Amino acid sequence: MKVSLNVVFATLLVIIVAGFEYWQYQDAQTHRETLNKQLIELHGRIEAVDARLSNTRAQIQRMEESSLSGVIEGANQALISGWSEMLESVERELEAAREKFHSSRKKADPADPQQADPQPSAPSRSNGQGPL
């Protein structure tokens, strides 16, 4: 009888421990599900905050561009860009004129001083205009 009482007690103890383990497992599952729901909710909130932050940054940028300092900065950039383009154009034209001048000097006969160093002539009396 003592052996069967020990067997019953051991069986009862195993059943209690197994029941406790099962209860812990169920509690952990419930807790995990709750945490997953919270995580999904927080992820949605973060996305909403990111969208609002992007919109706010875009509004700030538009406000800065339309502010007086933004308008002045834009005008300065346009002015600088225009001057740069104009200077580059003048440099290109000067370089083209320089090349044309050097090529015309090379073609000129060095024995003929008038062709090597042309001097402007006086205006002609027939039409009142000088050389073009």
Q: Sorting pLDDT into bands at 50, 70 and 90, what band is 93?
A: very high
**Whether 46 and 74 share a structural domain:** no
pLDDT digits (tens, 9 = 90+) for 5-17: 889 999 999 999 9
Q: Which residue has the tokens 């024995």?
A: 111
Q: Could you tell me if residue 36 is inside a domain?
A: yes
**Whether 7 and 27 share a structural domain:** yes
Q: Could you tell me if residue 131 is inside a domain?
A: no
**Whether 53 and 22 share a structural domain:** yes
**Whether 72 and 62 share a structural domain:** no
Q: Sorting pLDDT into bands at 50, 70 and 90, what band is 110?
A: low
Mean pLDDT of the chain: 84
Q: Could you tell me if residue 117 is inside a domain?
A: no
Report the chain's C-alpha Rg in angstroms. 47
Separation of CA 113 from chain center: 61
Can you give the residue range of the structural domain that contains 74?
A: 68-106
Closest by CA position to 74, among listed 82, 61, 65: 65
pLDDT digits (tens, 9 = 90+) for 51-71: 999 999 999 988 887 888 878
75 within 8 A of 82, measured Cβ to Cβ: no
Q: Sorting pLDDT into bands at 50, 70 and 90, what band is 94?
A: very high
Q: Annotate 118-131 with DSSP letters as a single string.
A: --PPPPPTTTS---
> What's the CA gap between 41 and 60, in Å, rounded?
29
What is the mean predicted confidence (pLDDT) over 75-80?
91
**Whether 29 and 79 share a structural domain:** no
Q: Where are the alpha helices (DSSP H) in the chain?
A: 2-66, 68-107, 113-116
Helix (H, G, I), strand (E, B) or coil at 112: coil
**Whether 32 and 7 share a structural domain:** yes
Q: Which residue has the tokens 């900065």?
A: 73
**Whether 59 and 9 share a structural domain:** yes
Number of domains in the chain: 2
